[in-house]
Structure 1
Amino acid sequence: MSSKRLLAILSPLLLLSCGVDTFETTVQGSTKVDGAPGLLKLLPAFAPFEGLTNLDFSSNQEFENQGVDKSDVDSVKVTRLTLKIASPSDQDFSFLESLRFYAAADGKRALVAKKDGIDKLDLRAPNPVLVFDLEDVELAPFVSAPSMSIEVEGTGRQPESDTTLEAEVTLRVDVNVF
């Protein structure tokens, strides 16, 4: 067998064993929850997280670094989702009871992460970080869409003062290298 033929047979296997068909990318966003000093008002609908709406993975830096297009995607799964209180630094998560994060595209939604009993977790200031429970949901159809968003629903009360939340979503992307 010629060395060229052997190389042609082994190259795809070597690429797969090096993990080049799988990479991680992270998307981040932030939103402000309006405060209600001295009032116990129910939490209104969450404003969209800036940075998590109208996501187009064709222009995602990690996709570009890997030399892949969203049409090359075989599978996408959330591997981590966190929420941090960015400000004020003395705010904790006691105003939130539950949160749900959804992927949305082309009129479809899928639950990707959730957390219940947040107010009972005793996540204290300064700048606490909440780690979400993940759903095993396939996001390739969402990532391959012209654009997707990550939407949030939650229950709780408005905090005493305006509170900025920062979300970070880590995705494991599996692409077709052939």
Structure 2
Amino acid sequence: MCDSLDNIDVEVGARAVVPAGTIIDDTLGLLEFDAFQRIDLSAEFENQGVTKDDVDAVHLVHFTLRVESPADGSLDFLRSASFFAETEGQPRVLIAKLDEVPRGARELSMDVIEGVDLKPYVVAPSMRITTEARVGGRPDEETTVAADVLLDVDIAVPGC
């Protein structure tokens, strides 16, 4: 009975702007999502009436990438991508990846790494989600990519 009462979903989103390629510059470094550089879920927990001390476990449910612009843009500049959780005092941990990006894709569901408990990262003062991407050059036009993350947060509820 308590299984659904002691879990909350927390959504985290970010955007990255990938500049158009030029003759001089045809490589892309990291796919950097600024909002993922400092994630602090304290306010989200407060809105739910819980604190970081109430967290029992945190698991990634899904991680998607989506082209927001241009309207006809795709993720063809990506060949593969891996995402990691990081925080001070904890090892860097792989949380999601896609070994091969299908040609023409505008939206991707990353493969979530099962069994990774993100509690030590979420209860830290802040965590980061970083990216390693294998690329095939920059896109023809400036491209905005949105990343959406859904976390399942298991919280301690007295009596459950």
Matches within 5 A, 1:1-178: 16=2, 19-37=4-22, 41-47=26-32, 49-60=33-44, 63-107=45-89, 108-118=91-101, 121-124=102-105, 128-136=106-114, 137-156=116-135, 157-178=137-158
- Report the Cα distance in structure 2 between the residues aligned to 1:39 and 1:133, rounded to whole angstroms: 34
Amino acid at match of 1:140: K
Letter in 2 for 1:145: A
Per-residue CA deviations over 1:80-131 (Å, capped at 9, x if unaligned) read: 000001111111121110101111111531110000111xx2344xxx2110
Separation in 2, partners of 1:56, 1:35: 31
Residues of 1 paired with 2:141 and 2:24: CA distance?
11
State the shift of 1:37 in Å: 4.0
Unaligned runs of 5+ in 2: none
Q: Which amino acid aligns with 1:83?
A: L
Once the two structures are TM-superposed, the CA of residue 23 in structure 1 deviates from its matched residue by: 1.3
Query: Alignment RMSD, CA only?
Result: 1.7
Cα distance in 2, alignment partners of residues 52 and 71 from structure 1: 22
Q: How many pairs does the alignment contain? A: 155
- Unaligned 5+ segments in structure 1 are 1-13
Amino acid at match of 1:54: R
CA deviations on 1:8-40 (whole Å, 9 max, x unpaired) are: xxxxxx6x15x2211111000001111114578
CA contact (8 A) 1:37 1:159 kept: no
**AA in 2 matched with 1:167:** A
More helix by share: 1
> How big is the shift at 1:51?
2.1
Q: Matched residues, percent identical? A: 35
- One-letter identity of the residue aligned with 2:154: D
Q: TM-score, normalised by structure 1?
A: 0.80
Larger radius of gyration: 1
Whose RCO is larger (CA < 8 A, sep 6+)?
A: 2
For 2:59 and 2:41, locate their aligned partners in 1 and report how far apart those are by CA, in whole Å: 14
1:51 match: secondary structure: helix
